[in-house]
């Protein structure tokens, strides 16, 4: 099972950076969402592959035509939050208001219930179990926010599951599609299926990993395919490397993999799983 997903945000929605943190800062940067969406939509049309699009509520309000185009093309739309803030930097009240606004903004455009969610930066941590209760409150049934390893934005290293499962918080269950892991030896988890990891790895290695891995959850962003985007000068050298390396060839890499594998979207994958047989992870 190989699942194709995109997180729909602007190129400047970079986390953990003061100059791009708030909505007030975003007016300082040019918009590149339409030209980058053209690349993604063109690729999917050529490859004839379905995908799930996790969209910001902010994008829905500022560029409703982007959301309408995705919906009119028949793709699944989920929420990626409203203002692209790290979950663990918000209170439960702040998080709920952000989620609610994103869900309503997307539903106002599509007329369809939003039932799928991914947190910005996979920033759901063990210390914030209330996230799942709030998701359920607003009709979210399927989550794709768990990064079951340590990472810059927190991660959930003791989640212990890197395949479809259920999460249970106080008797509330959600279906979970975590990021897949590949182990280096028997100790070190490695992720290859999206973002900077995907851009960094050579094509031969990616082809091998995609071929050898049964469950793959991809996560791409419009900026991953934009080699002409401006450089945000405030980023450290390490962050600049992570954010800009491999942009030129990323779309061609994905095009090759789409031809070699039968990708699906989350809603189709969800229907093909026997959820009575999956592991249940209790969040305490």
Q: What pLDDT, in 10s, does the model give residues 121-141? A: 999 888 888 999 999 999 999
Q: Which residue has the higher pLDDT, 250 or 150?
A: 250
Q: What pLDDT, in 10s, does the model give residues 140-165? A: 999 999 998 877 777 788 888 899 99
Nearest to 226 by CA among 38, 2, 26: 38
**What's the N-to-C CA distance of the chain in angstroms?**
29
Q: Is the pLDDT of residue 194 over 70?
A: yes
Determine the pLDDT at residue 186: 65
User: Which own/partner contact pairs does 245-248 have at CB distance under 8 Å and 24+ positions apart?
Assistant: 245/196, 245/199, 245/200, 246/196, 246/198, 246/199, 246/200, 247/199, 247/223
* 94: three-class secondary structure by DSSP: helix
The Cα–Cα gap between 104 and 109 comes to: 9
State the CATH class of domain 2-282. alpha beta
Q: Is the pLDDT of residue 187 over 70?
A: no
Mean pLDDT, rounded, for 216-236: 94
Q: Where are the domains of the chain?
A: 2-282
User: Which own/partner contact pairs does 228-234 have at CB distance under 8 Å and 24+ positions apart?
Assistant: 229/11, 229/32, 230/29, 230/30, 232/12, 232/14, 232/17, 232/19, 232/20, 234/17, 234/18, 234/19
DSSP secondary structure, 256-281, as one string: HHHHHS--B-HHHHHHTS-GGGS-EE
The Cα–Cα gap between 116 and 132 comes to: 12
* Mean pLDDT for the chain overall: 93
Two tokens, residue 79: 């929420």
Determine the pLDDT at residue 145: 94
């Amino acid at each position: 099972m190989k699942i194709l997903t995109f997180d729909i945000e602007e190129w400047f929605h970079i986390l953990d950076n003061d100059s791009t943190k708030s909505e007030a800062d975003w007016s300082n940067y040019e918009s590149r969402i339409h030209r980058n969406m053209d690349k993604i939509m063109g690729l999917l049309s050529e490859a004839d592959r379905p995908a799930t699009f996790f969209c910001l509520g902010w994008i829905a309000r500022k560029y409703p035509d982007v959301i309408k185009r995705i919906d009119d093309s028949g793709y699944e739309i989920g929420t990626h939050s409203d203002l692209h803030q790290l979950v663990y930097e918000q209170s439960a009240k702040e998080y709920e208001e952000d989620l609610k606004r994103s869900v309503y903004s997307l539903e106002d455009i599509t007329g369809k219930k939003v039932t799928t969610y991914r947190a910005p930066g996979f920033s759901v941590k063990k210390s914030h179990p209330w996230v799942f209760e709030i998701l359920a409150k607003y009709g979210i049934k399927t989550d794709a926010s768990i990064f079951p390893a340590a990472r810059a934005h927190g991660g959930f290293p003791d989640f212990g599951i890197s395949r479809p499962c259920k999460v249970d918080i106080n008797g509330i269950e959600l279906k979970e599609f975590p990021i897949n892991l590949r182990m280096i030896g028997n100790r070190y988890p490695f992720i290859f299926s999206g973002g900077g990891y995907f851009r960094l790895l050579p094509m031969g290695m990616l082809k091998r990993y995609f071929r050898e891995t049964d469950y793959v959850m991809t996560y791409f962003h419009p900026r991953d395919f934009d080699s002409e985007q401006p450089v945000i000068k405030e980023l450290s050298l390490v962050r600049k490397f992570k954010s800009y390396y491999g942009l030129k060839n990323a779309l061609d890499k994905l095009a090759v993999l789409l031809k070699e594998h039968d990708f699906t979207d989350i809603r189709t994958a969800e229907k093909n799983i026997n959820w009575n047989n999956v592991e249940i992870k209790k969040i305490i």
